[in-house]
Amino acid sequence: MSAFLAGLRFEARILLRERAVWLALVALVAAILFALFSGAARVEAQKALVAAARGEEAQRLEGLRKTLAKLEKGETADDPPPYRDPRNAAYMGGGPAARVAALALSPLALAAVGQSDLFPPVVKVTTGSKDGFLYADEIENPANLMSGSADLAFVVVFVYPLVILALAFNLLAGEREQGTLSMTLASARRPGAALAGKFAARILAPIGVTLLATAVGVGAFAGASVLASGAFAALTSIILIYGLFWAALASAVDGLGKSSAFNALTLICAFVLVTMLAPAGINSLAGYAHPAPSRLDMVLAARAASTDADKERDAALARYVDEHPGEKRDRAREGTLRRLATQEAAFQRVESVIAAHDAQLARQRALADRLGFLSPALLTYRALAGVAGASETRYRGFLDSIAVFHVEWRDFFLSRAKAAAPMTQADYDSLPRFAERGETAAADIAAPLMGVAISTLLLSFLAMRGLRRVRP
Amino acid sequence: MSDFAIGPLSRTAPTPAHARIVRAVAAKEWTEMRRDRRLLALFVFTALLMLAALGFGAAENARLARERAAAAEADRALWMGQSAKNPHAAAHFGQYAFKPLSPLSLADPGVDPYVGSAVWLEAHKQNEAQFRPARDGGAAARLGGLSLAYILQTVAPLIVLLAGFAGFSGEREAGTLKQLLSLGARPRDLLAGKALALIGASAALLAPAVIGAALAVALLTDATKFSLADQFLRLGALVIGYAVYLSGFAFLALGVSALATSSRAALVALLAFWLVNSFLAPRLASDIARGLAPTPTAQEFRAGVAKDKARTFGHDETHPAFVAFRDETLKKYGVTNVKDLPVSFRGLSLRKDDENGYVIFDEHFGALQAAYDRQDALRGSAGFLFPLLALQPFSMAFAGSDSRAQFDFATAAEAHRRDIQNEVSDNIIHFQRDADYVAGPELWKRIAAFSYRAPTAGFALSGSGEAMAGLVGWLGLTVAFALFAIRRLKPL
């Protein structure tokens, strides 16, 4: 142990004297704090978005209630058209009384943008088919979406490994090239422990600094209470294990006994492969094997359903008029029934198209998930998005919750519309409320973390073998 | 044996032809690069990767083009198959406009995954394009897609840096730099020779990409929708843009190599720059642009439109604007009741409401695009320092996959929506006499399907001034930096 500590202390003293090391560490800390600061601003904007949507909903419903009260008291001269009549259940659930379904923000939402810039945090659920509301996007410059944000996930996945590699890439090669390796090995009773100590000093600096800066940033921008949460423990585990992966890789390459230049080139190529090419390749392969189905099919199915329903309705109406000549037609009721029929037809077809799409996308994701184990960077990115509550799984869960709520919402309004029962103040009091179902964070984090840990263990084994081969 | 070896150089010898030295240095560097197996392996790997990316891009483009063509056909059939109904009800049913995929987006998909490809053209409303493909992509998609542009923008400069970082420092460490200088070779000749070799290497890297892209474009372009000559013009511009981008990296590598105390220091500095340029700068620039020129949220945008739309009447016959328009119309026709009008007042009011709406939509959507343009300009303003910020918009513009191309499509789609509305309202004005009026297939047929011809390379050029200035500035700056750096090279 003393040889390990001696090696660690000695190397730490050398590192502390290097200006470039300080510069790299300060840059890393600055990047982490900036990422968390801008993450906090992003979270505030999302909260404001949800609050504004809820405010708009409250105002809209209040307006309907006031109009309803006037109608009930007979204070209006004429009846409003059906699409503005708060008593008309067929129209109100389709927009004027639409309910906001909002995604609850995770305490560590500032850590990663994940999929949150692609999926709006609020969805206005109506009685229409899902194509009408589920795919409404938040307004964002597409060029911003394309380049992504400098969030903590980005700093951890891309910047942090390079600082580790810069410090750890040539412990043995550097000593060998300077001619100090033999001296180092000869000066310790347990040369392996001394080398391990020196290596530990090189990797502890970036890993420790990253963990510390993350803790300070999270405490400052998300609140000190978050530091005691399980999510924060998961965040630190991810950072630690990912850091150890790159350290083990650097050590394994260094253990091959080649030059510093060889190590640098090999590790840069590994970095490009792991962080850039593997995720991009996995994405392209999964997309090629199981192409994402076109959402256009869904729209066309909904439109075809509504035209078919329209025609059926026309034919039924024509038959009815033939069979009941002279009977006075209630055009408002006819309009309502036509609307209900087309909505129902579109709903059924859209549901079946969405189910087929989801099944295809599930196959694509399953392949991407399996291939994802080839890239610890991708696994880490997924785990960080999971900690931030912005993963694909989380959003799929959100959409599933909306699907359940959508059925409830439709039942509420359509049962009244079919029965021609006018909406009352009591109905407005008991409008269904959205609740997010299920938590998926643990599954989002555990599997990717395990993948990185296994790669790290394999590389550590190789690194140990390399260290054992070193002789004075 | 090279000319350089044949002709010994010394201060006492007659001044050698500088061009000969440049050629000799370039030939020596080129030979060394060819002999470096690791570098060669990287070149081959990158070339294969680019071809694979092109293959994926071509397959994806073909699939999307088929989907959109089929969707357009199906939507037309739905429009034509409508039952007899009031024309305004048909306008509410509307049509869909599908964006044709630019052939060169197989090389650079640009913002296409982040914008919708279909716009619903319905009565009263200008809609945004729907269905961003990125929503269906996974986490891997957020770390970058395997496109030719992605590889040329990030991996290719890394290879140029790896090929050039030891350009001067390696010679210094091997002791050959002083020899060369003391023999009378001017530093700028050495720089020119080494730069020539590196630029040649960049050209070799670009060659398979260009040939592959040209073949793909030639074979896969739908000549009924896109001009092949225009696509090749665009491809030519892309080749120039990427060549300037990579040449700048060659001069940067040589400049840093000349200034650095060791090859290792040069490599570390160049890798740090590569990291910043490839990853940090685009993200930071986006965050800064977003902060300095914010865009409204969807809710704010829609509320703004709704607020202005509230000034006009829609279907609200009690609206003061409706009453004023009715009075004005009655006065114009010299009657006192809408029933006495020779035309349908409903049609007139629909047309008037639409016209009011057009102004409002132009204002709001124009302001939104202007905000995007401001953000894009801010993002690109540091393009001369971090050239990816200049190259990305340039590349997307000439690939036809930038947000200006998207806006052009959206504008054309909106123009078509207005044609539908105007046609429908005119039909009502002239033919509707009572509430039971319906139109049939003749009207649906008369209203044409959406047809869009993507803008030419001139359109891309007109919007790429800042990006081109950034790329030229980047090359000028790196050349100046390299010339400055080699002033330190002395024979003694």
Report domain extents, chain B: 18-488
CA distance A189 to chain B (A): 32
B146/A280 Cβ within 8 A: yes
Query: Is residue B304 within 8 Å of residue B296, measured between CB atoms?
Result: yes
B118/A299 Cβ within 8 A: yes
Question: Taking CB atoms and an 8 Å cutoff, what residues of chain B touch A286?
Answer: 138, 140
Is it the case that residue A51 has pLDDT exceeding 80?
A: yes
Q: Which residue of A has its CA nearest to B63?
A: A291
- Closest partner CB to A162 (pick from B42, B275, B300): B275
A281/B146 Cβ within 8 A: yes
Helix axes A160-168, A19-73, angle to 10 degrees: 170
Tell me the pLDDT band of A320, cut-offs 50, 70 and 90. Answer: low
- Closest partner CB to B146 (pick from A162, A269, A284): A284
CA distance B98 to chain A (A): 9
pLDDT score, position A471: 64
Strand pairing class (A99-102; B118-122): unpaired
Question: Taking CB atoms and an 8 Å cutoff, what residues of chain B touch A385?
Answer: 139
User: Average of pLDDT values for A15-41?
Assistant: 91
Mutate to test the interface with B, among A284, A306, A321, A339 (most CBs of B within 10 A): A284
User: Average of pLDDT values for B116-125?
Assistant: 90
Is it the case that residue A351 has pLDDT exceeding 90?
A: no
CB contact, 8 Å: A275 with chain B?
A: yes
Q: Which two tokens stand for residue A290?
A: 């199981």
Is it the case that residue A441 has pLDDT exceeding 80?
A: no
A159/B280 Cβ within 8 A: yes
Tell me the pLDDT band of B8, cut-offs 50, 70 and 90. Answer: very low
CB contact, 8 Å: A76 with chain B?
A: no
Is it the case that residue B4 has pLDDT exceeding 80?
A: no
pLDDT score, position B377: 94
Nearest of A438, A362, A366, A368 to residue A397 by alpha carbon: A438
Mutate to test the interface with B, among A110, A283, A364, A445 (most CBs of B within 10 A): A283
How large is the C-alpha radius of gyration of chain A?
A: 30
Query: Is residue B460 within 8 Å of residue B398, measured between CB atoms?
Result: yes
Q: Which residues contact A16 (CB under 8 A, 6 or more apart)?
A: A22
CA distance A366 to chain B (A): 10
Arithmetic mean of pLDDT over chain A: 87
CB contact, 8 Å: A128 with chain B?
A: no
pLDDT score, position A329: 66
Q: Which two tokens stand for residue A119?
A: 């999926």
Query: Is residue A294 within 8 Å of residue A368, measured between CB atoms?
Result: no
Percent above pLDDT 70 for chain B: 96
User: Average of pLDDT values for A413-423?
Assistant: 88
- Closest partner CB to B158 (pick from A150, A261, A272): A272
Is it the case that residue A280 has pLDDT exceeding 70?
A: yes
A154/B287 Cβ within 8 A: no
Tell me the pLDDT band of A327, cut-offs 50, 70 and 90. Answer: low
Digit-coded pLDDT (tens) for A208-259: 999 999 999 999 999 999 999 999 999 999 999 999 999 999 999 998 888 8
Query: Is residue A194 within 8 Å of residue A4, measured between CB atoms?
Result: yes
Q: How many CB atoms lie within 10 A of CB B76?
A: 16
Q: Which residues contact A147 (CB under 8 A, 6 or more apart)?
A: B282, B283, B285, B286, B379, B392
User: Average of pLDDT values for A170-189?
Assistant: 76
pLDDT score, position A38: 92
Is it the case that residue B15 has pLDDT exceeding 60?
A: no
ipTM value greater than 0.85:
yes
- Closest partner CB to A284 (pick from B38, B56, B297): B56
DSSP letters spanning A52-111: HHHHHHHHHHHHHHHHHHHHHHT--SSPPPGGG-TT-HHHHTTTTTPEEEEPPPPTTGGG
Tell me the pLDDT band of B456, cut-offs 50, 70 and 90. Answer: very high
How large is the C-alpha radius of gyration of chain B?
A: 30
Is it the case that residue A78 has pLDDT exceeding 80?
A: no
Taking one residue from A and the other from B, the number of pairs with CB-CB distance under 8 angstroms is: 229
User: Average of pLDDT values for B178-182?
Assistant: 81
Q: Which two tokens stand for residue A201?
A: 């000093």
Residue B171 Cα to chain centre, angstroms: 41
Element (H, E) at B126: strand B125-126
**Cα atoms in the 13 Å half-sphere on the side-chain side of A400:** 11
Is it the case that residue B89 has pLDDT exceeding 50?
A: yes
Tell me the pLDDT band of B170, cut-offs 50, 70 and 90. Answer: confident
Strands (E) in B261-351, as ranges, are: none
pLDDT score, position B3: 43
A142/B111 Cβ within 8 A: yes
Percent above pLDDT 90 for chain B: 60
Tell me the pLDDT band of B83, cut-offs 50, 70 and 90. Answer: confident
3-state secondary structure of A228: helix
pLDDT score, position A62: 94
Is it the case that residue B1 has pLDDT exceeding 50?
A: no
Q: Which residues contact A257 (CB under 8 A, 6 or more apart)?
A: A172, A173, A176, A466, A469, A470
- Closest partner CB to A276 (pick from B144, B296, B403): B144
* Phi and psi torsions of A422, nearest 5°: -70, 145
- Closest partner CB to B83 (pick from A288, A294, A310): A310
Query: CA triplet B324, B326, B328: central angle to 5 degrees?
Result: 70
Is it the case that residue A160 has pLDDT exceeding 90?
A: yes
What CA–CA distances, in Å, run from A329 to A84, A323, B7, B248? 22, 13, 106, 77
Tell me the pLDDT band of B2, cut-offs 50, 70 and 90. Answer: very low
Q: Which residue of A has its CA nearest to B46?
A: A277
Question: Taking CB atoms and an 8 Å cutoff, what residues of chain B touch A260?
Answer: 264
Tell me the pLDDT band of B5, cut-offs 50, 70 and 90. Answer: very low
B283/A52 Cβ within 8 A: no
- B118 bridge partner residues: B98, B130
pLDDT score, position A39: 94
Question: Taking CB atoms and an 8 Å cutoff, what residues of chain A touch B271?
Answer: 162, 268
DSSP letters spanning B29-93: HHHHHHH-HHHHHHHHHHHHHHHHHHHHHHHHHHHHHHHHHHHHHHHHHHHHTPPSB-HHHHHHH
CA distance A471 to chain B (A): 26
Is it the case that residue B58 has pLDDT exceeding 90?
A: yes
DSSP category for residue B385: T
A368/B138 Cβ within 8 A: yes
CA distance B389 to chain A (A): 10
**Dihedral sign from CA coordinates of B294, B300, B304, B305:** positive
A288/B53 Cβ within 8 A: no
Tell me the pLDDT band of B491, cut-offs 50, 70 and 90. Answer: low
Question: Taking CB atoms and an 8 Å cutoff, what residues of chain A touch B81?
Answer: 307
Q: Which residue of B has its CA nearest to A31?
A: B280
Question: Taking CB atoms and an 8 Å cutoff, what residues of chain A touch B98?
Answer: 296
pLDDT score, position B262: 84
Question: Taking CB atoms and an 8 Å cutoff, what residues of chain A touch B145?
Answer: 280, 283-284
Tell me the pLDDT band of B239, cut-offs 50, 70 and 90. Answer: very high
B150/A139 Cβ within 8 A: no
* Alpha helices by DSSP H, A324-440: 331-371, 376-387, 392-418, 425-429
Tell me the pLDDT band of A14, cut-offs 50, 70 and 90. Answer: confident
Question: Taking CB atoms and an 8 Å cutoff, what residues of chain B touch A264?
Answer: 264, 267
- Residues A103, A401: Cα–Cα separation, whole Å: 10
DSSP category for residue B131: -
CA distance A118 to chain B (A): 6
Q: Which two tokens stand for residue B150?
A: 């992605």
Digit-coded pLDDT (tens) for B23-54: 988 999 899 888 888 889 999 999 999 999 99
* A108-112, B122-126, B143-147, B319-323: the lowest-pLDDT one: B143-147
pLDDT score, position B371: 93
- Closest partner CB to B155 (pick from A138, A272, A288): A272
pLDDT score, position A223: 92
